[in-house]
Amino acid sequence: MKKEAEKVLSFPRKQAEEIQALQDTIYVVGGKWRLPIINSICNGNKRFRDIQRSIPGITTRMLSRELKEMELNKLINRTVYADTPVTVEYTSTDYCYSFGPIILAMIDWGKKHRKKITGKD
């Protein structure tokens, strides 16, 4: 197990390029909220309140701010339906799904971590 991880993490010659790639990614998904929001929308949540309810602790201010920037960066689509009252839907773009592997790896780590510190499943 350790040997495996050690192996995959050890390519000295490409180290600089990989550190760069890692730092780029951290820059893009940085902050507490970006990945949980992506995860929520990719999971099918479309409405502002639904997304907010699905992410413990997030305020309307932060959610609003992140959604706006994510729309600018083409991570999500925002569609307004002129009903009464107005409804808005957020949906993921293909680009948004590219974060899937990162999110899954992090969910996996988090579950194992919790199991480890609580001692149960």
The residues that touch its own copies, with contacts defined as CB under 8 A, are 1-2, 5-6, 8-12, 15-30, 32, 35-36, 39-40, 42-45, 50, 53-57, 94, 97-114
Identify the H or E element spanning 54: helix 48-54
User: Is residue 67 near DNA by the rule CB under 7 A?
Assistant: yes
Contact 45, 51 (CB under 8 A): yes
Stretch that binds DNA, among 2-10, 17-25, 81-89, 101-109 (CB under 7 A): 81-89
Token pair for residue 20?
Answer: 């760069």
Is 42 or 62 the residue whose CB approaches DNA more closely?
Answer: 62
- 8 Å CB contact between 67 and 2: no
Residues 82-121 that bind DNA (CB under 7 A): 85-88, 90
